[in-house]
Amino acid sequence: MTYEFGELKLDLARQELIRGGARVDVEPMVFQLIHFLIQNRERLVPKEELFTLLWDDRAVSDSALSTCIKSARRAVGDTGNLQEIIKTVHGRGFRWVAQVQSNESAHVKKPPTDLDGGDDVWVEAARRPSIAILPFETVGTNEEAKTLGEAIPHELIATIARLRWISVIARGSSFRFPSTLDDFGKIHHCLGVKYCVTGNVEVLGRQISIGVVLTDTEDGEVIWADQFRSSMDDIHEVREKILAQVIFAIEIQIPLSEATKARLRSPENIDVWATYHLGLQSLYKFDANENDMAISMFEKAISLEPSFARAHAALSFAHFKTAFMHYSENRNVAVNAARSAAEKSIELDPMDPFANFSMGRSLWLVGDLDGAKSWLNRSTTLSPNFAQGIYARAWTETVSGATSVGRRLSDEARVLSPLDPMLYAMLGTRAMSHAIEGHYDEAADWGVRAANAPGAHDLIAMIAVFTNELAGNHSKAADWAKRLRASRLGITQEHFFRSFPFSDNAIRERFSTALSRHNIPEI
């Protein structure tokens, strides 16, 4: 569906504002504001309604809305003095006053006044994943349960809104659906979302049970579900756990689901998002051929949609892997490609946690640990439950010598994402932190756990070698060294230490000596 006004066109399917055939750069929130004003152009839109739409009723100042309105006017070629497109009604709200032509009637009718409005729909589903959080069903008449049934979904909306790659429906729309609704086809039809989170809350005495389910609204498939139980005294802890686990499900399970379904389609029907998710599926396999496949998929996604910031960030990640794992003889080419793709993703969307994560990792490759820390910290500030950002910070802090900080962050990442594709890296980070501190028995235990974790690669096996050697487990270290040489001929210590640029040379020498005892050459 498109709306046209003057020289401009608002394309909802592509989520683009276009002027004379050229794309106009516009922030997602500003795009959402323009779309909403156009949809409601027959009436005055109160300021309060816009606060609900854009910030989900979070406490923000009037100046935040003024800034957003100013950006919207700039995007469509209007000004506060002219007000030829967006008119301010002082003290009350705003109106869209420009003439609009649309193909709305062929695709989307006006919003229903009743949820049983038959064929009426609100929006056309966007190509990128979108999600709605419904109020949780409450069992019984307990007032605390009713409060939690709305409070937890509200917090989920606010938390998911920080993830830049998925759109979340505002509370004002999703909370119009009753908590007991289980007709996911209707949710998909009315809200245009691909995924939906539902739940239930039951309080028995001082015990509480909360169930949460993530469902694909197109086919009703349950993507992820979990049950959380605690006493009411610990409700804040279980609330934080729910937020963390739902974010994990969205960040990990949705991409896996998207990739699996994409493989069932014929290649000519795979769109940009499916291509991106196919790339992610290959990205998390530490294999040179799979990594080449990931690069190919991300480059294809970018060719389909050059402004797709996350595809550029993922491409940076793939080139990072090429350099980190020494898949190419010319490591510098991969280092530069990782940096270039990361910079492009930041240029396109500086608020995307994954873009900031990729930028930090690209600096890691050249040994700029302070610069890496800055970008990685920013990634987790933007999304506090971003497990991969937290583990990358753990890695950086550990290699910098801040072992206790690294260990804490590593544990936090594992709690947030216990089935993460990078679990081996989280375990390996903890192993290195113990080894640096001289706690070799603990280091050896965590080193073996890391090397045995799904997807663990050669450099993780090298951690198992030197941690066991330092712990006095000489035969176990020899066994891991044998496995290492069998899996990758010609591997040297240089591969490891170029990928892990320890700031303390004494630590490097200690690990190097342990590796040399098992005939792993320095170069």
Which two three-digit tokens encode residue 136?
């949780």
pLDDT at 120 over 50: no
270 and 333 co-located in one domain:
yes
145 and 255 co-located in one domain:
yes
CA distances to 125, 160, 188, 254 from 129, rounded to whole Å, are: 9, 12, 12, 8
43 and 17 co-located in one domain:
yes
Residue 303 has, within 13 A of its CA and on its CB side, a CA count of 7
pLDDT of residue 56: 58
pLDDT for 324-343, tens place per residue? Answer: 999 988 999 999 999 999 99
- Segments forming the whole domain that contains residue 320: 265-384
CA distances to 339, 372, 421 from 394, rounded to whole Å, are: 21, 11, 16
CA 126 and chain centroid, separation = 18
Cβ partners under 8 Å of residue 22, min gap 6? none
pLDDT at 428 over 60: yes
pLDDT for 209-251, tens place per residue? Answer: 999 999 999 888 899 999 999 888 888 888 888 988 888 888 8
Q: What distance in Å separates the CA atoms of residue 35 and residue 123, rounded to the nearest whole number?
A: 10
Q: Are 310 and 275 in contact (CB under 8 A)?
A: no
pLDDT of residue 21: 81
257 and 271 co-located in one domain:
no
142 and 156 co-located in one domain:
yes
230 and 284 co-located in one domain:
no
- Is the dihedral angle over the CA atoms 344, 348, 354, 357 positive or is it negative? positive
pLDDT of residue 469: 97
247 and 333 co-located in one domain:
no
Confidence class of residue 266 from pLDDT cuts 50, 70 and 90?
Answer: low
At CA 64, angle to CA 63 and CA 68, rounded to 5?
Answer: 110
Confidence class of residue 150 from pLDDT cuts 50, 70 and 90?
Answer: confident
CATH code where residue 61 lies: 1.10.10.10
Q: What distance in Å separates the CA atoms of residue 298 and residue 315, rounded to the nearest whole number?
A: 6
Residue 390 lies in a domain: no
Q: What distance in Å separates the CA atoms of residue 209 and residue 295, rounded to the nearest whole number?
A: 44
276 and 241 co-located in one domain:
no
Q: What distance in Å separates the CA atoms of residue 345 and residue 337, rounded to the nearest whole number?
A: 12
Most confident of 19-23, 359-363, 453-457: 359-363
Nearest of 411, 367, 362 to residue 390 by alpha carbon: 411
487 and 523 co-located in one domain:
yes
pLDDT for 137-148, tens place per residue? Answer: 988 777 778 888
Task: Report which DSSP code applies to 136.
Answer: P
Q: Are 341 and 348 in contact (CB under 8 A)?
A: no
Residue type, 428: G
CA distances to 80, 191, 251, 298 from 271, rounded to whole Å, are: 39, 21, 20, 12
Which two three-digit tokens encode residue 397?
């802090």
Residue 33 lies in a domain: yes
Average pLDDT, the chain: 86
Task: Report which DSSP code applies to 421.
Answer: T
Q: Are 253 and 224 in contact (CB under 8 A)?
A: yes
- Which of 245, 261, 277 finishes a domain? 261
- Which of 233, 261, 289 finishes a domain? 261
CA distances to 54, 198, 252, 342, 353 from 157, rounded to whole Å, are: 12, 12, 18, 28, 17
Choice between 434 and 266, residue whose per-residue pLDDT is larger? 434
87 and 14 co-located in one domain:
yes
Q: Are 24 and 31 in contact (CB under 8 A)?
A: no
pLDDT for 156-198, tens place per residue? Answer: 988 887 777 788 887 877 888 877 777 888 888 888 888 999 9
Q: What distance in Å separates the CA atoms of residue 428 and residue 347, rounded to the nearest whole number?
A: 32
pLDDT of residue 105: 38
pLDDT of residue 103: 65
CATH code where residue 440 lies: 1.25.40
CATH code where residue 244 lies: 3.40.50.10070
Residue 404 lies in a domain: yes
pLDDT for 474-500, tens place per residue? Answer: 999 999 999 999 988 889 999 999 999
CA distances to 6, 349, 350 from 342, rounded to whole Å, are: 36, 11, 10
Burial, 473: exposed, middle or buried (Cβ in 10 Å; 0-12, 13-18, 19+)? buried
Number of compact structural domains in the chain: 4
Q: Are 135 and 175 in contact (CB under 8 A)?
A: yes
Longest Cα pair distance anywhere in the chain, in angstroms?
80
Residue 348 lies in a domain: yes
Pairing type for strands 207-216 and 16-19 reads unpaired
Residue 434 lies in a domain: yes
- Which of 261, 284, 316 finishes a domain? 261
CATH code where residue 285 lies: 1.25.40.10
504 and 446 co-located in one domain:
yes
pLDDT of residue 115: 42
Residue 116 lies in a domain: no
pLDDT at 85 over 90: yes
Residue 510 lies in a domain: yes
Residue 448 lies in a domain: yes
Confidence class of residue 121 from pLDDT cuts 50, 70 and 90?
Answer: very low
293 and 412 co-located in one domain:
no
At CA 406, angle to CA 401 and CA 410, rounded to 5?
Answer: 155
pTM over 0.75: no
> How would you label 4-28 residue by residue, b for 16+ Cβ within 10 Å and e otherwise?
ebeebbbebebbbbbeeeeebebee
Residue entry with tokens 């009718």: 109
2-6, 59-63, 450-454, 456-460: which has the minimum mean pLDDT? Answer: 59-63
